[in-house]
Structure 1
């Protein structure tokens, strides 16, 4: 991976030795005002996918369930008296291929180190993340730029396994600035993706995403957060010595939070109709102390 990131240095210590927010420090009040100033129509678009019962975490295998919705009370279970109620319990994974979610900086380590050069073994444990948990990312409000790669290429969706790199991002999102969110559309949800063989042990198959050198664009522009409609990394990955190079470069070295499996098709069409690529992005992760991530419902405001 040193081919794409020689020395692997980046943002460690940039915001102080105790920093846990990473590049989100760049998305301060000035970027919130810039985002609000760019709102034109007030149209709000949800960028999340429905959480359906039995949703798989990765490619379907026995017992591999990412989300469960269970009713606790309903009409019939408490029909007596003058007031009835319905309530439910939600059980969810915080990561995987299907759930729209945000990664905390504590989600990934590399060669024993986490964000800021911390010992990864001391960052996370059976009681959760002791440093850089998801609460450090609550909330996210900033200006965002959509890099609509299929529209740039003139296709409906990218072929499965396509890796989007620095040059295409620079062409698709020329207006990305410091503290902005880079949101990358591959057209995943309209693209057939070949699944791995059930007995292969491969959890990812062939999915479009980012090439490791895409993180050079992220670093050069000082982006605060990166979101995609896929898993972040393109699979199969482009390097032999790291199984999640985009995760490693973003979370560990740059301190850039990642958002995965976003629903971006409606947003892409709306922005194209208005002749623009920027919007206001609002993300509210669940404030779970010790959490390495959270399901999220990102909202774009145009």
Structure 2
């Protein structure tokens, strides 16, 4: 089975693995027909060891309401619509309610799947899949979100609470500007939290985007996506940051901001993290997670590692999904 594969991890400097493949890609690492990418790191052994993180029995959901943000950060995306369908039958006492939900899967908390963002120069997704394979006349199910759903994203989560660190250090920043968080600050956060990474970890970075969003007026929330530049805070997409993510063998990354990396990405290494993480390594990116209570619980317990579980929607051919995620400390 795919999630039981064992492979030797090549050095970052050896990427791409094959001549002619896009920058930083690891195509072929898990086999030519692989559709799980970095989730292959979540082996039964990794999941079993992650269960040891459940010490206090504290469950923290990580999902924003489906209607938060009030307006999706890309104004071309539709606002979620929820309808209650009241069902009655003539001359019968029994009634029931159904409901219907119409959403863009990028409108709130989500995991980006491997069909979301290709290498912009070659327009190739993970493993070389092209747009015509997804929406063309000969479209197939390759890289659909159903692969992630049927595997699950379950392992040890690690919170790097950069927001708390930045407030302590007096670092001036706005979550609604393109503030790039450098690797050295993430490393300092990890040191202060006494965190040591393990292969297959799910890295979670708190930037303060959600905390500040909730302070905005409704008018400001509605106006946020239609700014001239829809900028947001995030991790700096430097070469050293790419190497650090690769060397630590993260299975997935997530954040409370809208793109994980600073956006629009200035691409200091020539490519965005979205390109390399999703389409180069097959590593899911979680965005707009609700990390406020998790931050509080981790600080209270002095424990920034936890059991992480996420069950994306099992939609054949899907692109992204609400994460349905929780941290258990």
* Class of the TM-score when normalised by the shorter of the 2 chains: 0.7 to 0.9
What TM-score do you get using the length of structure 2 for normalisation? 0.78
Q: Secondary structure at the match of 1:105?
A: coil
Aligned counterparts of 1:215 and 1:78: Cα–Cα separation in 2: 59
Q: Deviations over 1:56-112 (max 9, x none)?
A: 222557xx52311012216xx55852321111110111114xx11111112111122
Aligned to 2:312, what secondary structure does the other structure show? coil
Distance 1:152 1:53, change over 3 A: closer
Alpha-carbon shift at residue 119 of structure 1 (Å): 3.8
Q: 2:113 aligns with which of 96, 104, 111?
A: 104
TM superposition score normalised by structure 1: 0.85
Match in the other structure for 2:146: 135
**1:210 correspondence with 2:235:** yes
Structure 1: stretches of 5+ with no match in the other structure: none
Q: Tell me which residue corresponds to 1:84.
A: 95
CA contact (8 A) 2:112 2:320 kept: yes
Partner of 1:233: 261
Deviation at 1:212, TM superposition (A): 1.0
CA-atom RMSD, angstroms? Answer: 2.8
Residues 255 and 53 of structure 1, relative CA distance in 2, 3 Å threshold: closer
Answer yes or no: is 1:175 the counterpart of 2:196.
yes
Q: How does 1:42-81 map to 2 (within 5 A)?
A: 42-52=57-67, 55-58=70-73, 64-73=77-86, 81=92
C-alpha distance in 1, partners of 2:140/2:295?
35
Query: What's the counterpart of residue 224 of structure 1?
Result: 251
Distance verdict in 2 for CA 1:123–1:272, change over 3 Å: farther
Cα distance between partner residues in 1 of 2:109 and 2:30:
28
Provide structure 2 residue ranges, at least 5 long, that are not aligned to the other structure: 1-14, 17-21
- Aligned-pair CA distance for 1:182: 0.3
Aligned length: 287
* Alignment partner, residue 30 of structure 1: 45
Give the conservation status (yes or no) of the 8 Å contact 1:32–1:142. yes
How far apart, in 2, do the equivalents of 1:250 and 1:19 lie? 15
Distance change in 2, residues 1:68/1:8 (3 Å): same
1:158–1:86 Cα change, 3 Å: farther
- 1:137/1:83 CA distance change after superposition, 3 Å: same
Deviation at 1:234? 1.4
Contact 2:61/2:325 (CA < 8 Å) preserved in 1?
yes
Counterpart among 295, 313, 326 of residue 286 in structure 1: 313
Hey, what does 1:253 align to over in structure 2? 280
- Tell whether the 8 Å contact from 2:155 to 2:309 is kept in structure 1 after alignment: yes
Deviation of 1:197 after TM superposition, in Å, equals 8.5
Residue 190 (1) aligns with residue 211 (2)? yes
1:111-147 CA-to-partner distances (Å, cap 9, x unmatched) read 222112x142243116876311111112111001001
